[in-house]
Amino acid sequence: MKGPSADPDACAAAAGRLWPVATYRAALFFCLWLVLAGVDVADLPAAAAAIAAATWTSLHLLEPSRARRSVRAIARLILLFLYHSVVAGADVAGRALNPRLPLHPGFVTYPSRLSPGLRQNVFTTLTSLLPGTVPAGEEDGEIVYHCLDIRQPVVTDLAAEELALVQALYND
């Protein structure tokens, strides 16, 4: 039996889906190059090599997805993240400036529904930016978070962040 890579039609279809993604990523890397290095004609050979290498690497490390990205869901994720950042940042600042406010540090576990690997790493990276909680490892398949105050609704907030992330990026 032939594998999918041996079928010429399957290879052509895969290549047809790959070119738009590769072009989009190369354009993003080109914009990044312009921001970091500026516009100089003498840099074009180095820019072309760097963009080609970055695009090739990104296609091999982060394979293109068939998922449709929702602009509305991405905007909701950004707004939710900003809201939680401001609220949690104000809470942390208030605790730091007012020593009478008690801290109840500790650990909570969160049973993420995301598959281990890239998706869970994106989630823990996103949640590590929120003040007051830091991913601290994994225990029995659940993500362990260190929190400044375990009496806060940390698990509920993490569930809201995870749902927003899934709707924004992984709506397969």
The amino acid present at 110, given as its one-letter code, is Y
Q: What is the pLDDT of residue 15?
A: 55
Number of domain units in the chain: 2
Kindly give the confidence (pLDDT) of every residue in the chain, 172 residues in length, as a single tens digit, with 9 standing for 90 and above: 444 445 544 444 455 678 888 998 999 999 999 988 888 889 899 999 999 999 999 888 777 766 666 778 778 878 888 887 788 788 778 877 887 877 889 999 999 999 888 889 889 988 887 778 899 999 998 999 999 888 888 899 899 889 988 888 776 5
**Side chain identity at residue 67, one-letter code:** A
- pTM for the full predicted model: 0.57
Burial of 4 (0-12, 13-18, 19+ CB in 10 A): exposed
Residue 43 sits in the same domain as residue 76: no
Parent domain of 31: 4-61
Are 51 and 92 members of one domain?
A: no
- Judge if 158 and 95 occupy the same domain: yes
Do the domain assignments include residue 95? yes
Indicate if 9 and 85 belong to the same structural domain.
no
pLDDT of residue 168: 81
Q: Are residues 162 and 88 in the same domain?
A: yes
Asked if residue 123 and residue 50 are part of one domain, the reply reads no
pLDDT, residue 54, reads 94
Within 8 A by CB and 6+ apart from 4, the residues are 10
144, burial (CB in 10 Å: exposed 0-12, middle 13-18, buried 19+) = middle
- pLDDT value of position 112: 93
Is residue 66 domain-resident? no
Domain boundary at 61, 87, 105, which?
Answer: 61
Other Cβ atoms within 10 Å of 59 Cβ, number: 15
